[in-house]
Structure 1
Amino acid sequence: MTRKIVGGASTAVRPERLAEKPVLVVDDFHNMRSTLRQMLLTAGYAAIDVAVHGEDAIDKLAQRRYEIVLCDYNLGEGLDGQQVLDLARARRLIDLSTLFIMVTAETTSDMVMGAVESMPDGYLSKPFSKDLLAVRLDRALRRKQSLKPLDPLVRRDDLAGAIKEAGRMLDEGEGRESDLVRLRATWAWRIGDTDLARASASTAWASARPAWAGSLLADLDALAGEVTAAEAGYREVMRETPQFMPAHDHLAALLREQGRGPEALEILRAAAERSPKSLERQRALGELALANGDAERALQAWRRALRIARQLGQPHPSDAVARIEALLASGDSRKARQAVRDLDRDFSSHPECPWYSVLARLRLAAAGSRDELDGALRELEALPDAGMPEPVREPLNRVLAELGQV
């Protein structure tokens, strides 16, 4: 029989309820999909859908709210399990109460760090038995189902309401305290309630020292202008939990703002090597490396960023322009010219491509390829100023000034 969860303990979920819970199995191998489906049927689950690759999983998650997702990490070409989870969260295709289990036989450092960074609700290492699967799902479901009262509030972006409800749940002893404290702190930070964010993070840090709490306290110090305290806080989290990547990213950003570019670059380089599958981290590394004169590292970062963005279905011409800048900084104007042609081909249907194409050609002209200048200026003249993407405006004005065209 189910009952109120107190301190994270509860009886098992009743079998008749299991049959009602929609489950999505994601695996690129037919035999594994069939095996997992049969295991789930034996355990009492009945509403089971399957997806054959990452993109298929995202499509199905967009069509139905699943309570359980069993997703293989290695899904062949396209999205992997980590990227499925990241995209599902970013697009709000799963709820707080959705149980997302990563299934994997992988042991590579990229997989391990990527999975740690994405923080699924659990892992299952192949091979495993139907009994182990049933036990792991039952245990994890008891924790996740307690968050259901928060789902409708989060779906409609009522974070103030979600904070209030989580507070009530804490007072009533519903759900796991560590989950509720973390959620309240995160939501408070997002809506600008720094007092509650600090109080919640401080409570968690004092009791169990979770990495998220230490990093959030450092974020709050940085926001308050307490730079020394923020740096010390990030470094403490990095020492205690080196696999917690946000502390690395935030420290690098802090150091860069202080004009300590080489230190920031070294921290971000190490973070990107440890966990290379973050698009935003590769973009930040590319920018920082170029600003600090490390053209080769910038080029490597932008190559990775372009590849990851394509996998995620988020390709953008700005990444291609950044790669062209890195090629020019490395002295390879021939490859830079080819990269401009690649940009025009690969992003021909992107509405912002004309602006980025002009910017890339002006970069070539500023680097010495003056035959690109007249054509680029004519293209720029033909483009409507009202349609200029805001991120293009500053670099475009800068390169035009460099070329004496302002």
Structure 2
Amino acid sequence: MSTGIDYEAVFRALPGGAVLLTPELVILDVNEAHLRLSGRPRSVQIGRYLFDVFPGNPDDPDASGARGLEASLRRAIATRAPDAMPLHRYDVEAPGRPGVYEERYWTTVNAPVLGPDGEVTLLVHRVEEVTELIRARRAESGVERERMEAQLYSRARELQDINDRLRQVQAREREVVLALQAAMLPAPRPVGHHRAAVRYQPAAGTLNVCGDWYELTDLPGDRMAVAVGDVVGHGLEAACVMGQLRSALSAAMLVTSGPARALEVLGLYARSVDGAESTTAVQVSIDWTAHVVSYSSAGHPPPVLLHPDGTVEFLDRATDPPLGARPEHVARPEARTPFAEGTVLVLYTDGLIERRREDIDVGLTRLADSLAHHQGRDPESLADALLAELLPPGGAADDTALVIIRL
């Protein structure tokens, strides 16, 4: 139900300066208070990179305002939490006087706005100018000036302490989530007389740890069921949902006739689990006697077969929407494909291939090229090579689960 509140009018009327930024730090909107503080019209700000509109002072080698602000904005994106900057100097180019910078002092808070998928969609950059306070402080003498400096320093330290405590809490939550995931995910082990190489790589951000999982189950005869899945969301809630769904799918693998039916059972169960909506999963059943794999996907990136001749085949002929995406139960598709001895099966979650502002096909091509390049490696060394080659140097923004089996 609409509240009847005109939030655009509220934004423009805020008494403190506020700027809306994209995650790429492009200015989307500014309020009236910020227009007055900056002395620049809206027309020269909207659609431009923040530091093109407000560059640092090139004539002052000690000027750190722009660097400090960018670092704070990046922290807000990485942690998905507000980042408060202590009192800092950030000189601003005088309106109408190019190259002439005015000494200005500010307090700043940068807050991320998260979308439904938990990703940062906007940044709110809130600024308050305290230049006059600094000038008044300078005009005062002796003990009074020292007292005000002490107060300002104390306030800055309080803000820094708050940030430090917040980061400590986030770090502890990350440790708890990782420990919980490690306890719930199966350890590498032989399944029947076959062995899989499995990897779980946590996301780089403090609270980005998600609900990725894998599962391997021995089936009657010389058969195996293997699955990977990805719960939407981050942190403890996603990890708990992951544990419930993984256990349910493990049981369904044992009692159903194939991957499609197992995912149907999992989808029905997911309707009763809060937070399980839009979870993706893929299951593959391997029959070594018939040399056939059967598979079904619920909105998940396709598994891959690396054939002995070096060709790469994506298993994408049985793809359906994620769990809980349909209001009514519908039978899921299932496909079968033969394999030759020595073929390698690869299942993974989207952290291995997806990058922001990049089409998923680019990531799939990158995966195929890497697999072909490392043709002939054993599963363990192939798993290490894929993670080293495909994940960003600083770590991915999403978790990565990886399972590799030589067929």
TM-score, with structure 1 as normaliser: 0.30
- TM-score for both structures, normalised by structure 2: 0.30
Between structures 1 and 2, the one with greater helix share: 1
Task: Compare relative contact order (CA 8 Å, sep 6+) and give the higher one, 1 or 2.
Answer: 2
